[in-house]
Structure 1
Amino acid sequence: MTIVNAGRGARRNGEGPMLHGRMLRYLDEIARSGSIRKAAGRLNVASSAINRHLLELEDEVGAPLFERLPRGLRLTAAGELMVNHVRKTLKDYACVRTQMEALRGLQSGEVRVGTTPGLADSILAPVVERFTAEHPNIRLVVRTYRPDTGMAAAMNGDTDVYVGYNVPKTPRLAVLASAELQIGAVMAPDHPMAGARRLRLAECLAYPLAVPERNSPARDLIEAFLPGDADLLPVLESNAPDLLKKIACRAPAMTFLTAADIEEDRFFGDLVFVPIQELQGTPLRVSLVRRHNGSLGISAGLVVHQIQTRLAAATASHEAPTASAQRDQVPVSSG
């Protein structure tokens, strides 16, 4: 076994390193191919030229980067360090190029947002409408997940950001923004309880209930505060907020949602929101998170900024007025 090395020792004349852009690509491809000849073929460069640059680089750093074996080349320990650096540099350079293009007004690409079905309608819908109008060249992809799979998608980098309820703290996710949303009773304006300042859960149980599905954050919160001898016997359970709202529009039915879920419905006088006494001080926390060791491009940063603005607006409005005061309230602006 022989070591690929020029054998002349490291340069001592004070010249800078040779890791220019061309050599970065050469090293990466040699390491992937395990062969100078194969790397040359893939790069459409003479193998003698690649070999010459490799020998000069090894002379520059004063250490062999590859071992020559009967079936090709294998990285040395020094080579492993160098190639890891090379690949990080190439990745960072591609990211910088994308950011520079965005700064020049050539915004393009794709931003992936993960969330839950309810938050897609209440929190993200206004963001999507505004963002796509302002940035038509950027493709926005919104996918809905169950909470556990949504967090996994963010941690694995399958989404750029994730918006979810009660996201547990983990070193693998960085929190970019959060909001606290209060669950309340939602019903038609002509419902017998529509004028109440607040309701107890026991009072709600006297009416036909359409409720969020089992094991959802809202359902878990409601069941945790039920009176000890009471059972939740809904006429409908669903993970679709629009369906729950349609049922609640017809008295005497009611449902349990946040004020953010029914902003437009309150504005047009179709639904009212009444706080529930037992749930005061126990809001649902909505968090915007990304992978901890990941980075956001400029396009993703623009989306994040609009979601942060939306969450701030939702927090400011979570103590929704009741009865007649709701008829005079305008929807919360998304920006």
Structure 2
Amino acid sequence: MEGTHPRSALSATSLARLFHTPSLLYFVSVAETLSMRETARRLNVASSAVARQIGHLEDSLGMLLFSRESKRLRLTPAGEVLLRHARDLVRPLESAVSELDLLAGLRSGTVRIATVESVGLTILPRLIAEFGVRYPRLQVESRIAASGDVIDLLANAAVDIGFTFVTRPLRDIDVAVRRDLPIGVVMRPDHPLAALAEPHFADCFQHACAMPARSLSIRQVIEPYLARLPEPPHALVESNSVRMLFELARSGRYAAFLTPLGIEREIGSGEVIFRPIADRALPLNRFAVIVRSGAGLRFAPAAFFDHVRTYFDGAGTLSEFAANGG
């Protein structure tokens, strides 16, 4: 059968021995990177050594854990099942290694971050740079994702810390930092909407608008208000990139729905204008730094988390933090 290898059943003792070999550590790394070469680079071993360990694990289990599609690895169903459980087995060992490194003064380890674009392009680079000065031996891996994907990555233990916008109640996730941001419309100073201190959605849709795609948290907040419009707005452009929305606003043709996050300097210089939306009961967009509930952070993620908390605790509002160099 495709995806399996013939084998005799392993005893409980054999399975326990198997799961305490390097094979499982190599498997988790390959599953996260989907690349044996990248895993070899991270672990500072030869690619052939990684391939041997994965082959040993597959032979012992009698199942293929990876398939290759278009020169890229992909987890098989068996691999997905093993990964869910392997992370729970590997995490205590990684934590122990990090603590032993700390005790020895090495301070090595990796912190994995997922972030929404607006934070990843503005606040996070500053945080990472200053963290790197303090902990030069610690590695940081970051990825940009939609707000909902950041939450899912954290819930699935694919990352240690998330920077996202929260639009729904979270299970098994702690909100460590919370800041509420107003939703408004951004345009050039010579745009007709700039004359209104607090425009309504109806005012905005008299002009060409740049709308966040449904994958962005801002769109989820304002979607109920769009549904009340008597007819669809005209001259509408959608984008899943906050930076693209800003650039459309800066072009002068479009008014873009955004929060001030990430464009504080441009607003402060007068290059663009931000006007809060006046529609009644429009909620704020809630930014949060999140971690998994009850999942003790290893040294590297814990050190970065403390670094983040220190900065946000002293920053006042999120906009003030970003405006001061984020």
Q: State whether structure 2 residue 303 is matched by structure 1 residue 302.
A: yes
Deviation per CA, 1:164-185, whole angstroms, max 9, x where unpaired?
2225334421222221111111
Q: How far 1:108 moved relative to its partner?
A: 2.2
Q: Which runs of 5+ in 2 are unaligned?
A: 1-11, 22-87
What does residue range 220-299 of structure 1 map to in structure 2 within 5 Å? 220-226=220-226, 227-278=228-279, 282-299=283-300
Partner of 1:198: 198
Deviation per CA, 1:13-68, whole angstroms, max 9, x where unpaired?
xxxxxxxxxxxxxxx9877239xxxx9xxxxxxxxxxxxxxxxxxxxxxxxxxxxx
Q: How far 1:272 moved relative to its partner?
A: 1.7
Question: How many aligned positions are there?
Answer: 246
Secondary structure of the residue aligned to 1:125 is helix
Contact 2:98-2:298 at 8 Å conserved across structures:
yes
Take 1:232 and 1:144, find their aligned partners in 2: how far apart are those partners? 30
What does residue range 100-119 of structure 1 map to in structure 2 within 5 Å? 101-102=101-102, 105-119=105-119
Q: How far 1:128 moved relative to its partner?
A: 2.8
Take 1:164 and 1:291, find their aligned partners in 2: how far apart are those partners? 14
Take 2:105 and 2:194, find their aligned partners in 1: how far apart are those partners? 50
Partner of 2:16: 32
Rate the CA distance shift 1:204–1:308 in 2: closer, same or farther, 3 A.
farther
Partner of 2:156: 156
Contact 1:173-1:289 at 8 Å conserved across structures:
yes
Q: How far 1:289 moved relative to its partner?
A: 1.7
Q: How far 1:205 moved relative to its partner?
A: 0.9
What does residue range 145-224 of structure 1 map to in structure 2 within 5 Å? 145-166=145-166, 168-224=168-224
Take 2:162 and 2:322, find their aligned partners in 1: how far apart are those partners? 28
Q: How far 1:91 moved relative to its partner?
A: 6.7
Take 1:310 and 1:245, find their aligned partners in 2: how far apart are those partners? 26
Secondary structure of the residue aligned to 1:189 is coil
Paired-residue identity, %: 22
Deviation per CA, 1:44-96, whole angstroms, max 9, x where unpaired?
xxxxxxxxxxxxxxxxxxxxxxxxxxxxxxxxxxxxxxxxxxxx999757635
Deviation per CA, 1:115-173, whole angstroms, max 9, x where unpaired?
23333224423323433344332211111234444323212211011222225334421
TM-score, with structure 1 as normaliser = 0.62
Name the aligned partner's letter for residue 284 of structure 2.
Answer: P
Secondary structure of the residue aligned to 1:95 is helix
Contact 2:148-2:215 at 8 Å conserved across structures:
no
Q: How far 1:215 moved relative to its partner?
A: 4.2
What does residue range 51-62 of structure 1 map to in structure 2 within 5 Å? none
What does residue range 11-26 of structure 1 map to in structure 2 within 5 Å? none
RMSD between superposed Cα atoms in Å: 3.4
Rate the CA distance shift 1:148–1:96 in 2: closer, same or farther, 3 A.
same
Rate the CA distance shift 1:285–1:310 in 2: closer, same or farther, 3 A.
farther
TM-score, with structure 2 as normaliser = 0.64
Contact 2:123-2:322 at 8 Å conserved across structures:
no
Name the aligned partner's letter for residue 131 of structure 1.
Answer: F
Take 2:312 and 2:225, find their aligned partners in 1: how far apart are those partners? 26
Partner of 1:132: 132
Take 2:322 and 2:216, find their aligned partners in 1: how far apart are those partners? 29
Rate the CA distance shift 1:142–1:199 in 2: closer, same or farther, 3 A.
same
Q: Which runs of 5+ in 1 are unaligned?
A: 1-27, 40-87, 321-328
Take 1:156 and 1:204, find their aligned partners in 2: how far apart are those partners? 39
Contact 1:223-1:232 at 8 Å conserved across structures:
no
Name the aligned partner's letter for residue 243 of structure 2.
Answer: D
Deviation per CA, 1:251-296, whole angstroms, max 9, x where unpaired?
2421011111311222333222111111666111122222223111
Rate the CA distance shift 1:159–1:282 in 2: closer, same or farther, 3 A.
same
Contact 1:263-1:332 at 8 Å conserved across structures:
no
Rate the CA distance shift 1:309–1:241 in 2: closer, same or farther, 3 A.
farther
Rate the CA distance shift 1:311–1:248 in 2: closer, same or farther, 3 A.
farther
Which structure has the larger Rg?
1
Contact 1:185-1:273 at 8 Å conserved across structures:
yes
Contact 1:176-1:287 at 8 Å conserved across structures:
yes
Q: State whether structure 2 residue 299 is matched by structure 1 residue 332.
A: no
Secondary structure of the residue aligned to 1:33 is helix
Q: How far 1:97 moved relative to its partner?
A: 4.9
Contact 1:180-1:315 at 8 Å conserved across structures:
no
